[in-house]
Amino acid sequence: MAFVGIQLKRLYRLVLLPFILTAGVLLAGFVLESIWSLRRIRPVMMVLTQVPVIAAGLSTAFVLNGDPIVELAESTPTGWRKVQVTRLLIITGAFLAAAGLLFTGLHMMRLWPRDMGWVSIVTPVGSIFIVNCLVFLIAVLTTSMPTSSLASIAIWLFLCFIWDPYITDPVRQRLIPLFIAAAGAIFGWNMCGDAERNVVRVAAL
């Protein structure tokens, strides 16, 4: 628990970020609801509900790259992989919780875009899970923050503009990418266990 606690202490600002974003979007929805028609609010909400997904990917890229003490962490019984995965879980957990709150709020205000009932919660939650798992893989592969950030946007672009508009059923929409993302994360998990690779890659940067 102390280990999770110390990671949480290091990341607390980023853990707060999704909740601040959620509050901002909900507030925007609340204000707009009273001044604009639903037809006008919807396109704005379509953009605003994507902000947490973008922020999740970029935050994960930020958290998983650029740590200067990889070699030191590998020399301890904890190891680098546990550090990385704990950080991934903390940041993903925070964004998932915030996404749940965001959906609940907008669903109750009837502002969630393409709302098909409570099942639509899988759309934001799934997006965040998929983006974060794949960013974890990219971060392990490249150990580069710019590349991981770029990849996080590319993954989001794919989901938001290429995948989601064509696969509209919320469950089918998320199931296949979820499997791919989980497989990517497992691959990243295995690769991250290679202490030599971690140390040599960071030393070579």
Partner 1 sequence: MRILSLVRITLLMFYRRKALWIASIPLALFALFLAYASPMSPGFSNTDGLVFTGQVLAMFTPLAYAASFSDLMTAGRRTGMDELESTSPLPMAVIRSAHVLGAWVICISSSLLFLVLIAVHQAFKGNGKAILVALAVALVILSPSMLIAMGISALLGALLPTIVARILAVLAWAWLAFYTPLLPLPTLNGGPLAVIGDPIAQGWFHTDPIYAPANGPFTVQSGVISLLWQACIILLLFTGANIASNHIKAQV
Partner 2 sequence: MFISIDHLTKDFRGRPAALNDLTVDLPQGMIGLIGPNGAGKTTLMRILTGIIKPTEGKVFIDGQDLSLPANRRNLKRHLGYLPQHITPYDNLSPLGFLDYIGILKMIGNKRVRQEQAHTLLEQVGLDDVMNQPIGGLSGGMRRRVGIAQALMGDPQLLVVDEPTAGLDPEERMRFRTLLAQLGQDRTVILSTHILDDVAQTCPWVCVLRFGRNQYDGPTEGLIHEAAGHTWVTPPIAAPPDNATIINAEPTPQGTRYRIVTDTPPAGSVETAPNLEDGYMALASER
Angle at CA of residue 15, ends 13 and 16, nearest 5°: 65
| 56 versus 77: smaller Cβ distance to partner 1 | 56
The minimum distance between CB 33 and partner 1, in angstroms, equals 15
- Say which entry of partner 2, partner 1, none residue 200 contacts (CB below 5 to 8 A, set by partner kind): partner 2
Q: How far apart are CA 13 and CA 180, in angstroms?
A: 30
The minimum distance between CB 165 and partner 1, in angstroms, equals 9
Q: Which residues bind partner 2 (CB under 8 A)?
A: 2-3, 6, 10, 68-69, 71-78, 83, 195-196, 199-200, 203
Q: How far apart are CA 81 and CA 150, in angstroms?
A: 23
**C-alpha distances in Å from residue 205, one per residue of 6, 75, 111, 139, 148:** 27, 19, 46, 13, 15
The minimum distance between CB 36 and partner 1, in angstroms, equals 8
Q: Does 95 bind partner 1 (CB under 8 A)?
A: no
**C-alpha distances in Å from residue 122, one per residue of 31, 80, 115:** 26, 31, 11
Q: Does 110 bind partner 1 (CB under 8 A)?
A: no
Q: Does 146 bind partner 1 (CB under 8 A)?
A: yes
Instruction: Pick from 7, 62, 102, 130 the residue near partner 1 by CB under 8 A.
Output: 62
Contact between 202 and 150 under an 8 Å Cβ cutoff? The reply is no
> Cβ neighbours of residue 156 under 8 Å, at least 6 residues apart?
50, 53, 54, 57, 127, 131
Q: Does 16 bind partner 1 (CB under 8 A)?
A: no
Q: Does 97 bind partner 1 (CB under 8 A)?
A: no
Q: What residue ranges bind partner 1 (CB under 8 A)?
A: 14, 17, 40, 43-44, 47, 51, 54-55, 58-59, 62, 138, 141-142, 144-147, 149-154, 157-158, 161-162
